[in-house]
Amino acid sequence: MEFSKSLILISSIDYQGGWEDDETLEEAACREAMEEAGVKGIIGENTLGVWDFRSKSSQNSCSLAGSCRGYMFALQVTEELDRWPGQASYNRKWLTVNEAFECCRYDWMRDALKHFLLLF
Q: What are the Cα distances from residue 20, in Å, to 27, 28, 60?
A: 9, 7, 25
What's the 3-state SS for 14-73? Answer: CCCCCCCCCCCHHHHHHHHHHHHHCEEEEECCCCCEEEEEECHHHCCCCCCCCEEEEEEC
Rounded distance, CA 84 to CA 107, Å? 29
Instruction: Give the per-residue pLDDT at 38.
Output: 94
Q: What SS3 class is residue 81?
A: coil
- Cα dihedral 43, 47, 50, 55 in deg (nearest 10): 20
Q: Is this model's pTM higher than 0.75 or not?
A: no
| Average pLDDT, 10 consecutive residues per value, the chain (120 residues) | 51 52 86 92 86 64 64 89 92 86 85 83
Domain ranges of the chain: 8-93
Instruction: Give the per-residue pLDDT at 105.
Output: 82
Homologous superfamily (CATH) for 8-93:
Nucleoside Triphosphate Pyrophosphohydrolase (3.90.79.10)
Residues in a beta bridge with 115: none
